[in-house]
Amino acid sequence: PSTPSVRFTALTVPTMTKKQTFLPLKWLLQTSMLSFCLATTASAQSVWTGGAGNTSWADSANWASGTPSAGQDARIGSSLYNPTSFPLVTSGQSFTVNDLWVGYDGIGSLSLERGGTLTASRLGYIGYLSGGVGLVTVDGSTTLLAIEDDLTLGYAGVGELTITGGALVDSN
């Protein structure tokens, strides 16, 4: 049987222009306050650097801010870093993060195999921003990638999700 594989590429939509208009000071203040509120409620994040030179998700030296925990976002594939290795979640390992980003604005790869489990308690993106390329492989009958809310493939980048060997990807 063939291996199920999904690949999405986002299309670029031309930006529409409009006449500039005068914006009242009250609107600007409300918008600035909203932006401030949104910025202060963003969750902490840790970015994969591959600094330890291995594929261990649990090795805090592979992450800019230490191994991400349940309240943190995990970003794999940031243009700030150029890792030579990417994370592997395997047998006996189970991790939970807030949001999962693979291929944020650079090339990122994530592999789950032989019963490894990774849960994002909110959102998952594979291929997020323009220039982002995310590759996720989930392999093995007891392997699970769980995204509690939405899983988006190729938001503005390229996302590829490969599911083999009876693995499960679960997303609302």
Residue 59, pLDDT > 70, answer yes
The percent of residues in the chain predicted with pLDDT above 90, rounded, is 73
Residue 48, pLDDT > 70, answer yes
Q: Give residue 28's pLDDT.
A: 37
Structure tokens at 29: 């203040």
Instruction: Report yes or no on whether pTM surpasses 0.75.
Output: yes
What single-letter amino acid sits at 37? C
Could you give the CA distance from residue 132 to residue 78 in angstroms, rounded to a whole number? 8
Q: pLDDT by residue (tens digit) across 81-105? A: 989 999 999 999 999 999 999 999 9
Q: Give residue 8's pLDDT.
A: 37
Count the Cβ atoms, other than its own, within 10 Å of residue 128.
24
Q: Evaluate whether 95 touches 118 at the Cβ level (below 8 Å).
A: yes
Could you give the CA distance from residue 27 to residue 76 in angstroms, rounded to a whole number? 37
Q: What are phi and psi of 139, to 5 degrees?
A: -135, 135
Q: Evaluate whether 73 touches 46 at the Cβ level (below 8 Å).
A: yes
What single-letter amino acid sits at 140? G
Q: Evaluate whether 144 touches 171 at the Cβ level (below 8 Å).
A: no
Q: Give residue 27's pLDDT.
A: 37
Rounded to an integer, the average pLDDT of 60-77 is 97
